[in-house]
Amino acid sequence: MPRVLKRIESVVPRRAYGFGGKARGLAALARAGFPVPVAYAMPGWVGDSFFSSVLDIADRPRALLRTPHVSDARLQAIAQRVRDATLPQDVVRSVTDASLAMRDEGAISFAVRSSAMHEDLEGASAAGMHMTLLNLMREDEVLDAVKVCWSGLFRPRVVSYLRTLGDEIPVSVGIVIQAMVPAEVSGVLFTANPLTGDGGEVVINAAYGLGSSVVDGRVTPDTYRVDKATGQLRDRIIGEKAQQTVLDRSGGVREVAVDERKRKAGALSEQQLLQLTDLAKRCLL
């Protein structure tokens, strides 16, 4: 039987289709020498096999997409069955072993992230559709989070989105289990301007704390436009940054207010902008 989990740098990007978009991107970065936090990837077939063992044929993702109307109540009930079911022992053993290995390398807590096969495709981004659980302290929390990520496939808005993509869209969901990073500043970097298509500049959105608050729109981040060739700052817009998401000592995350002075200051220094621009250019090599 194929392995349930693979170390992220051992995943070959051109053969990583079955691991989903996030895992494929992380694998490419890790193998190219970028500073990627230690992680393991679980392919989508593991979730498919789990669905086959705990769900009736009519309640599995592909069948649901072919059903003309599925009520929200039915989807919620299916998702709950997924969360309540018992994981196979090979999955439990593999996740536990991976968690222990990451702890040996310094991980204190973990992020569990969905990595769907229909994410980050040319015609389907699935941005913000799937689940991520942060700062999980115990192995049993990580195991439960795997099921939560799988159950996210049955959320009404996910089913509606997949229906729009046609019958041939892949529906499997892989998983990434990754060491949690207690970020002071985080955000999103674009190697080209996503609004204008200008490939000559890097665009960075950044705010204090974890990047989840930037990605899901709960804070207004700083926006930096940097000339890719020279590293010169073309434009900077200071965002409000009134709140930040931080790790809670007991697990999970919490929201805290940002000091008034920090709100008005840029989250990134000139040196950090240069370093990020260099990383962006390396991505394109």
What pLDDT does 165 receive? 84
Alpha helical stretches, state H, the chain: 21-31, 44-54, 61-65, 72-84, 89-104, 139-151, 156-164, 212-215, 260-264, 270-283
What pLDDT does 3 receive? 85
Q: What pairs with residue 203 in β-bridges?
A: 190, 225
pLDDT tens string 4-35? 999 999 999 888 889 999 999 999 999 999 99
What pLDDT does 128 receive? 60
**40 near 6, Cβ under 8 Å?**
yes
What is the pLDDT averaged over residues 65-83? 95
Residue 52: which pLDDT band, with cuts at 50, 70 and 90? very high
Q: How many CB atoms lie within 10 A of CB 72?
A: 11
Query: 0.75 cut: is pTM over it?
Result: yes
What is the pLDDT averaged over residues 61-73? 93
Which amino acid would we find at residue 122? Answer: E
* Residue 105 to residue 35: CA distance in whole angstroms: 14
Q: What are phi and psi of 15, to 5 degrees?
A: -115, 15
What is the pLDDT averaged over residues 224-235? 96
pLDDT tens string 144-182? 999 999 999 999 999 998 988 887 788 999 999 999 999
**173 near 154, Cβ under 8 Å?**
no
Which amino acid would we find at residue 43? Answer: P
Residue 118 has pLDDT above 90, yes or no: no
3-state secondary structure of 122: coil
pLDDT tens string 39-48? 999 999 999 9
* Average pLDDT of the residues of the chain: 93
Residue 122: which pLDDT band, with cuts at 50, 70 and 90? low
Residue 264 has pLDDT above 80, yes or no: yes
